[in-house]
């Protein structure tokens, strides 16, 4: 598993602006995600846990609401407004197999919800209220 997690992290870091990745995104049907918002402008302004590797993550509780603009490396041409919880309480194993229970807020909480959705077979597009008003073609910088 260590080699796979290292490959997953390498893939995440090689994708500009990427703050998370889930094993199913690279064709591996395992419940493993990596999240690191610390290098992103939205994540660096908030308290966060740095690099998280979560195995078999389960969201135990969530609260608050926030409307956020999300993108995804699985859907590179679009972003969308998505309703997410402001905070989450997560139970998982870390990359060494030790249980971790962590509370996350803000942008990091959004990233965790987004990646856990991948494990459950959802894309952020499945969470869009109105395709007509909340889906946007991503601008490409040249």
- List per-residue pLDDT tens for the chain, 142 residues long: 889 999 999 999 999 889 999 999 999 999 999 999 998 888 877 889 999 999 999 999 999 999 999 999 999 999 999 999 999 999 999 999 999 999 999 999 999 999 999 999 999 999 999 989 999 998 765 5
* 119: phi then psi, degrees, rounded to nearest 5: -65, -30
pTM higher than the cut 0.85? yes
For residue 121, the 8-state DSSP code is T
Q: What is the 3-state secondary structure (H, E, C) of 48-65?
A: CCCCEEEEEEEEEEEECC
Q: Distances in Å between the alpha carbon of 39 and those of 16, 17, 67, 72, 106?
A: 11, 9, 21, 17, 15
Asked if 119 and 91 count as a contact pair (C-beta separation under 8 A), the reply is: no
Active-site option among 47, 70, 103, 115: 115
The residue ranges of every structural domain in the chain are 2-137
**Spelled out in words, what is the top-level CATH class assigned to the domain 2-137?**
alpha beta
Catalytic residue status for 47: no
């Amino acid at each position: 598993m260590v080699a796979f997690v290292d490959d997953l992290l390498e893939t995440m870091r090689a994708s500009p602006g990427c703050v998370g990745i889930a094993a199913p995104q690279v064709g591996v049907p395992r419940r493993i995600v990596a999240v690191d918002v610390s290098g992103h402008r939205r994540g660096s302004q908030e308290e966060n846990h740095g690099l998280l590797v979560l195995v078999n993550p389960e969201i135990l509780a969530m609260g608050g609401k926030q409307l956020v603009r999300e993108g995804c490396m699985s859907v590179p041409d679009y972003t969308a407004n998505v309703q997410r919880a402001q905070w989450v309480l997560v139970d998982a194993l870390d990359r060494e197999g030790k249980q971790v229970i962590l509370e996350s807020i803000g942008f990091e909480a959004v990233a965790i919800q987004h990646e856990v959705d991948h494990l459950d077979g959802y894309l952020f597009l499945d969470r869009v209220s109105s395709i007509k008003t909340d889906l946007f073609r991503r601008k490409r910088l040249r």
